[in-house]
Structure 1
């Protein structure tokens, strides 16, 4: 059984996930764009893995967008996206909040019809290993 550890940006909320990850989607829907402030959300999904909060459960809050299935859990102190359980027990883990390495590669891009117009130009940009001078 695989075990993953994660935390929020400020370190208040820490968690453990035990079990296997089923898929890793890069979601380009408009909700995820607003949610992340970026081109897409990178989320891991599992039907069977179990989430255990190690610290900071009182700092975790969840927002569900009315009349949708879009749901986001985050730290009330730093705003970092955190795991949550959707209907039917589907565990959704924002990939960036994991402290453990994940062996699974992204499975697919989803909701690509909603891609940001500027996203197609990203591969042509100059790349830096850190902040440019």
Structure 2
């Protein structure tokens, strides 16, 4: 069993996850595209891991899209995506909010039928180590 640590961008909300992840999904649904502003969400899923807020729990809020199971927890101060327990029995951790390295690779692309037309990371676009000059 592993411990993972994470935080929001401004550092107000800090957490620990005790346990292992069952899946690592790259979700291409239109809801995830909207709430990330990107091609997909990258979420680690666990049915058994425990979420412990170390600081800033009062700065965390959640949004549940009416009529769906789609939800997002985030920091009220900086807007960073944070772990969610809004779906009973399921811990959803946005991979980008972890400060601890994870060795697990994505296990599946989900809702690939909704994939953005411009989402083609295998193309021949230039690659830069940082911001291009």
Normalising by structure 2, what TM-score?
0.97
Q: How many pairs align?
A: 133
For 2:121 and 2:27, the matched residues in 1 are separated by 18
TM-score normalised to structure 1 length: 0.97
Query: Could you say which residue in structure 2 is the equivalent of 1:119?
Result: 119
Partner of 1:74: 74
Aligned to 1:105: 105
Q: For the aligned residues, what is the CA RMSD?
A: 1.0
Q: Find the residue that maps to 2:118 and give its secondary structure.
A: helix
Equivalent residue for 1:44? 44
Equivalence for 1:33: 33
Query: What is the CA-CA distance between 1:89 and the residue it aligns to?
Result: 1.3
Higher helix proportion, which one?
A: 1
Distance change in 2, residues 1:121/1:48 (3 Å): closer
Structure 1's unaligned 5+ residue stretches are: none
Partner of 2:63: 63
| CA deviation string 1:4-42 (max 9, x = no partner) | 000000000000000011000000000000010000000
Q: CA offset at residue 121 of structure 1? A: 6.1
Could you tell me how far 1:125 is from its partner in structure 2?
A: 1.1
